Chain A
Amino acid sequence: MHVPDGFIDTPVSVAAGAVAAGAVAASLRGARRELDDRTAPLAGLVAAFVFAVQMLNFPVAAGTSGHLLGGALAAILVGPWTGVLCISVVLLMQAVLFADGGLTALGVNITLMGVVGVTVAYAVFRGLVRLLPRARGSVTAASFLAAFVSVPAAAVAFTGIYALGGTADVSLGKVLTAMVGVHTLIGVGEGVITALTVGAVIAVRPDLVYGARGLTQPLRLSAAAAAAPARPGGNGNPGAPGTTGASGTTGTTGITGAAGTPGTGARSSKETNA
């Protein structure tokens, strides 16, 4: 969904550029809460991974393809603020190096795929996680639906921007129907890729999935009791690291330390003391 130069007129492109700049500035501020020494390199990886998967166009209908937008994936893996930055970095690289997505349309593209994609996906994800039972499978299911919805949402946003500043005289109703139609199909692919990727990371290191933090708490505790023999040194007391751990994620850190990934809590308390 990379808008090239010339689709959107100059005033609306400039306005979208201002929206994108504001969103990037706010995200640089907000991402501080999501990023630390451990997660910053992983966020860089998420950006690179989104870039790679965006190259993989999959067929959705006769003569039409789609590819991952990645806003949902990035937001769920590393947090919504960092997610906006991931997508912005990818779009900047694509526009500057690969001539994909116009340079004057960079603001439009960041607004559509970064801001709208991430915001809609993360709002849907949070809402579903609250409604669904607290389990790993719920995170994966919520990932699918959040990613699925975010793609037609970005298509609606494109039509809105086109209504404001489109350079050609077209039937907006028809464009809206066609855009939402094809992007609903692409959304299925987006949902599948996002759920598979989030599910894979959750299977190995659930503590590295931003969207699963806190949620896995009770589950992890019971899993720890069940799986304790399989993991040496895996029965850390969640309360202990919490007393010295970094603020905000202490509970999660302690819990994840209890099962599967022993030592996370101890490590973070070491860092705090250093």
Chain B
Amino acid sequence: MSSTAQSPSGRTASGTTRLVWIIGVLAALVLAGFVSHYASASPDGLEKVAAEHGIDEKAEAHAAEDSPLADYQVRDVDSPRLSGGLAGVVGVGATLAAGTGVFWLVRRRASGGPDGSGDGSGDGSGDGGDAR
């Protein structure tokens, strides 16, 4: 009896999972694209301690400092609000894509038994190589 009662609402469960996902992505986009403009610009804990205690004496310029997105600003976009917001949105999109890609490859296949997991571990070590 319970399974017949659950059957139609099974769609509801996956539906709310999708809803949670959509709300989460929207929240991330709003936070990175809009709220980030109001974040504190002060040095963070490590930067502050490093400056006060001379840890940063031999700090080097970042190898990617010429990246068009360096320091969370899109190059050639003049408005700091727009530039930072765009960089945040790009970052959320890139992280979502990279993360989902890795997790989708690593995941336990629904149809797979022991065979599936053997298959997957090959994929897994491949990802490790990419990630490095």
Q: Spell out A's residues near B (CB within 8 Å).
A: 1-7, 21, 24-25, 28-29, 31-33, 35-53, 55-60, 63-67, 82, 85-86, 88-90, 92-100, 102-104, 155, 158, 162, 166-171, 174-175, 178-179, 182-183, 185-186, 201, 204-205, 208, 232-233, 235-237, 240-241, 246, 257, 261-267, 269-272, 274
Whether B72 lies near A55 (C-beta < 8 A) is yes
Which one of B3, B7, B97 has the highest number of Cβ atoms from chain A below 10 Å of its Cβ?
B3
The 6 A-B pairs with the shortest beta carbon distances in the complex, nearest first, are A44-B100, A47-B99, A263-B10, A6-B60, A52-B32, A65-B40
| Bound Cα distance from A272 to B111, whole angstroms | 7
| Given A168-B58, A233-B9, A48:B128 Cβ within 8 A | no
Whether A90 lies near B87 (C-beta < 8 A) is no
Q: List 12 A-B contacts (CB under 8 A).
A: A2-B44, A35-B108, A39-B103, A40-B103, A44-B101, A65-B44, A92-B98, A179-B49, A183-B45, A233-B9, A266-B7, A274-B111
| Bound Cα distance from A34 to B82, whole angstroms | 38
Whether A35 lies near B48 (C-beta < 8 A) is no
Pick the contact of A48 from B16, B60, B99, B124 — CB < 8 Å? B99
Chain B nearest CB from A86 CB (Å) reads 6
Whether B53 lies near A47 (C-beta < 8 A) is no
Say whether B65 faces chain A, with CB atoms less than 8 Å apart.
yes
Which A-chain residue is minimally distant from B110 (CB atoms)? A271
Which B-chain residue is minimally distant from A2 (CB atoms)? B46
Which A-chain residue is minimally distant from B50 (CB atoms)? A7
| Given A42-B17, A167-B57, A56:B98 Cβ within 8 A | no
Whether B69 lies near A52 (C-beta < 8 A) is no
Which one of B48, B55, B56, B124 has the highest number of Cβ atoms from chain A below 10 Å of its Cβ?
B55
Chain B nearest CB from A117 CB (Å) reads 13
Instruction: Give 20 new A-B contacts, CB below 8 A, not counting A66-B44, A103-B63.
Output: A28-B128, A29-B121, A32-B120, A36-B108, A39-B103, A40-B104, A42-B17, A46-B99, A48-B95, A51-B91, A89-B95, A94-B91, A102-B63, A168-B55, A168-B58, A174-B53, A262-B13, A264-B13, A266-B6, A267-B14
Whether A28 lies near B125 (C-beta < 8 A) is yes
Pick the contact of B99 from A38, A89, A204 — CB < 8 Å? A89
Chain A nearest CB from B118 CB (Å) reads 11
- Give the secondary structure class of B's interface: helix
Whether B106 lies near A267 (C-beta < 8 A) is no
| Given A6-B58, A208-B17, A56:B7 Cβ within 8 A | no
Give B42-88 interface residues, CB cut-off 8 Å to A.
42-46, 48-50, 52-65, 67, 69-72, 87-88
| Bound Cα distance from A152 to B48, whole angstroms | 15
Whether A43 lies near B99 (C-beta < 8 A) is yes
Whether B46 lies near A49 (C-beta < 8 A) is no
Whether A179 lies near B95 (C-beta < 8 A) is no
Pick the contact of B6 from A104, A155, A262 — CB < 8 Å? A262
